[in-house]
A and B are shown apart, each in its own frame.
Chain A
Amino acid sequence: MSDQSFRISAGDALTAEKITEAGEKPTEAVADYALRLGDDALILAQRLGWWIARAPELEEDVALANIALDQLGHARSFLSYAALAWGRTEDDLAYFRTEPEFVNVQLVEQPNGDFAHTIARQFIVSYYQFELYRRLVDSSDATLAAIAAKAVKEVDYHRDHATQWVLRLALGTEESRRRMIAGLGVMWPYVDELFRDDELVVSLGEAAVLPSSLREDFDTMTGAVRAEAELEHPATDGLRGFVARGGGRDGIHTEFLGPLLAEMQVLARAHPEATW
């Protein structure tokens, strides 16, 4: 082709395939931890993937697809790593676990709702994941650290994407502001769960990041955006005014995860012997 003005390439980065190939087996506890982070990213990617061909503008179809693909990439890395501990594959874990075996936080399984709901969810998740991965880069587990090193840069962009839209929706029109506030009201009850410590993370010591240690930075950073967007704290705006009980890490989920898994797993489960 005559046009030499741009060149395309795959670039070099950590992938799920490379993790599987390396075959560095995690401890059981590290695998349990990787499973959590992998499930968060997988369920979020599944939700975001729905938007492709449905976004408010074509440019946004492309943007949301990029974010979904990043999350799916993180999911595949974490799940591939966890799977090594149990002699399984990323697909075994994604397609052949039942709902109570999924250990994602409840926030990511919340329905897409309208664009403002999705942005509210993105706003919370991306700031949380950024704070998490930023610290996980120093994990004593080399593979977790490597996955986080790639993920943190990508999630940094997701944070920016969410911030831009929170500002535009909150300060755009009366309707968009109303919807932004409603979206945050629906998603905010699931914030507390993100920052709860439990036995597993405590036992992992330097390998993991204590969720509670992220809260202060999360509040500061999201608070600054809310201030600029002239948004009250969602809890005080109190559309629903409750705090979800959580439990996602223990396999307890809201009623939205079941249908999501049914759809995601239907084909793979219809052909359990098949490879694709």
Chain B
Amino acid sequence: MAPAATPTQRKDVDPVEDPAGRARFDELITADQRVEPTDWMPDAYRKTLVRQVSQHAHSEIIGMQPEGNWITRAPSLKRKAILMAKVQDEAGHGLYLYSAAQTLGVTRDRMTEDLISGKAKYSSIFNYPTPTWADMGSIGWLVDGAAICNQVPLCRASYGPYARAMVRICKEESFHQRQGFEILLHLSRGTKEQHEMAQESVNRWYAPALMMFGPPDADSPNSAQSMAWNIKRFSNDDLRQRFVDMIVPQAEVLGLTLPDPDLKWNEERGHYDYGELDWNEFSEVLKGRGPANAIRLERRRQAHEGGAWVREAAAAYAERRRAMAEKASAEKVQAA
């Protein structure tokens, strides 16, 4: 028998074409079953997943910052606790996803390097700044709302570790959107200044949230392959439509308007029509020319590099303890 790989690891990083493995893989995908780390998989499948899962992880980690920005200033102790718990969840979700990506043969260190060097991408939504408290509401309601639309189908993604991470994440995130909605509801029904704060924030976040689903299907070259592999279950435009249909009635409950003059119910389609999105801006922000890109990466870099001495200390301590234990057991053997 071949030396065993642990269940969390792939046996080979660069799999050679293996006809039996290929057949087995195709069989799993056709049967809508899960692919596990130790299964043979096409290199393109692995690469697509590494890219998607690590980008997803980076998004969680970078996504901590725009909200973390308000932890120290949250306007009530209850909101402070909620916000802390939410940002903490995002760290946890990043960790679950890094672990899932790691089963595909890439270390977290590598992924972190790629992030702070600017090589890796993350969701461009987090390159927008959060100047007001109402942005905590908009992020929860719109950004997390869009994320949930995206993520629920990912719980059935064909790659087992990714799907499992998403199940845990979706369970935990169920409060994220609601708390954002509540923040906006309180603002909208509050003083005049609070209402204005809420409306101004929703005006800024609406379009970027819609763009979180990615470019229109016609301009999304990788989508078809991802759908064929059962990584992606619905097209960008389908998910975007689902999201728009969800938030329009919610905005009415909030007493806030959505900044889109073309937004109206289409009886024939049974959906809301919405206006053209500015994809130029999207691609600019994605390329890192968003207002907060440099700030986000710099903060991540500082935390990582600034913490190096701590990580080294813990590793050195573990090594020292291991050496001491070894020595003690050697002495014991000698004594016996």
User: So, do A and B actually touch in the complex, CB under 8 Å?
Assistant: yes
A residues near B, CB below 8 A?
1-3, 6, 8, 16, 42, 45-46, 49-50, 52-62, 65-66, 68-69, 72-73, 75-76, 79, 90-91, 94-95, 114-115, 167-169, 171-173, 175-176, 179, 263-264, 266-268, 271, 273-276
Among A1, A66, A266, find the residue whose CB has the most chain B CB atoms closer than 10 A: A1
Contact B77 A68 (CB under 8 A): no
Q: Are A76 and B88 in contact (CB under 8 A)?
A: no
Cβ of B79 within 8 Å of any chain A Cβ, yes or no, is: yes
Nearest residue (CB) in A for B81 is A72
Indicate if the CB atoms of B95 and A58 lie closer than 8 Å.
Answer: yes
A114–B80 alpha-carbon span in the complex (Å) = 23
Q: Are B320 and A171 in contact (CB under 8 A)?
A: yes
Q: Evaluate contact between B307 and A49: CB separation under 8 angstroms.
A: no
Report chain A residues within 8 Å CB of B21: none
Q: How far is the CB of A89 from chain B (nearest CB, A)?
A: 9
B116 contacts the other chain (CB 8 A): no
What is the bound-complex CA distance between A273 and B193, given in angstroms? 10
Q: Mind listing 8 A-B residue pairs with CB under 8 Å?
A: A53-B303, A57-B307, A90-B77, A167-B317, A168-B317, A175-B309, A175-B313, A273-B191
Assess A69 versus B313: contact at CB under 8 Å? Given A52-B64, A171-B320, A274-B194: no
B171 near A264 with CB under 8 A, answer: no
In the complex, the answer to whether B299 meets A54 with C-beta atoms within 8 Å is yes
Partner of B94, one of A1, A52, A58, A94: A58
Are the CB atoms of B88 and A8 closer together than 8 Å?
no
**B116 smallest CB distance to A (angstroms):** 13
Given contacts A62-B88, A72-B77, A176-B312, list 11 more A-B pairs with CB under 8 A: A1-B167, A46-B72, A50-B71, A54-B306, A59-B95, A60-B307, A91-B77, A169-B310, A171-B320, A271-B193, A276-B78
A245 vs B151: C-alpha distance in the bound complex, in angstroms? 55
* Best-surrounded residue of B155, B172, B306, B313 (most CB of chain A within 10 A): B313
Any A CB within 8 A of the CB of B148? no
Q: Do A276 and B299 touch (CB < 8 A)?
A: no
Cross-chain contact of B155 among A1, A56, A61, A115 (Cβ < 8 A): A1
Query: Knowing A72-B80, A115-B307, A276-B183 touch, does A58 contact B75 (C-beta < 8 A)?
Result: no
How many chain B residues touch A (Cβ–Cβ < 8 Å)?
55
**Least CB distance, B100 to chain A, in whole angstroms:** 14
Let me know if B75 and A274 touch, CB within 8 A: yes
In the complex, chain B residues whose CB is within 8 Å of the CB of A171: 317, 320
B311-336 to A contact mask, C-beta < 8 Å, 1/0: 11111110010000000000000000
* Residue pair A275, B313 in contact (C-beta under 8 Å): no
Interchain CA distance A274-B197 in the complex, whole Å: 12
B73 within 8 A of A: yes
Q: Check: B236 CB closer than 8 A to any chain A CB.
A: no
How does the 8 Å CB contact mask read for B144-159 relative to A, with 1 for contact and 0 for none?
A: 0000000000010000
Produce 1/0 per residue, B61-83, CB < 8 A to A.
10011001001111111111100
A173–B313 contact, CB under 8 A?
yes
Q: List residues of chain A with CB within 8 A of the CB of B311.
A: 56-57
Q: How far is the CB of B101 from chain A (nearest CB, A)?
A: 13
7 closest pairs, A vs B, by CB? A56-B307, A172-B313, A176-B313, A56-B310, A65-B88, A53-B64, A53-B68
Interchain CA distance A215-B135 in the complex, whole Å = 46
What CA separation (Å) do A176 and B318 show in the bound complex?
A: 14
A55 near B81 with CB under 8 A, answer no
Min CB gap A202→B, angstroms? 30
Complex: A12 Cα to B62 Cα, angstroms: 33
Asked if B289 is at the interface of the complex by the 8 Å CB criterion, the answer is: no
Most buried by A among B88, B191, B194, B310: B310
Q: Across the interface, do B68 and A264 meet the contact criterion of CB distance under 8 Å?
A: no
Please indicate which of the listed interface residues A45, A49, A268 has the most CB atoms of chain B within 10 Å of its own CB: A49
Which residues of the partner chain A approach B310 to less than 8 Å between Cβ atoms? 56-57, 60, 115, 169, 176
Name the B residues within 8 Å of A52 (CB-CB).
64, 68, 71, 84, 87-88, 91
A269's closest neighbor in chain B, by CB? B75
In the complex the two chains form, is A276's CB within 8 Å of B72's CB?
no
Q: Which of B88, B190, B315, B316 interacts with A61 by CB under 8 Å?
A: B88
Asked whether B95 lies within 8 Å of A49 as measured between CB atoms, the reply is: no
Q: How far is the CA of A95 from the CA of B64 in the complex (A)?
A: 25
Is the Cβ of A49 less than 8 Å from the Cβ of B84?
yes
Given the complex of chains A and B, what is the CA–CA distance between A45 and B85 in angstroms?
13
| Cα of A154 to Cα of B68 in the assembled complex, Å | 23
Contact with A along B189-205 (1 / 0, CB 8 A): 01101100000000000
The verdict on A62 contacting B91 (CB below 8 Å), with A168-B313, A274-B191, A276-B186 known, is yes
Q: Name the one of B73, B186, B307 contacting A263, with C-beta atoms under 8 angstroms.
A: B73
User: How far, in whole Å, are A115 and B309 apart by their CA atoms in the complex?
Assistant: 10
- Asked if B288 is at the interface of the complex by the 8 Å CB criterion, the answer is no
Are B85 and A69 closer than 8 Å at their CB atoms?
yes
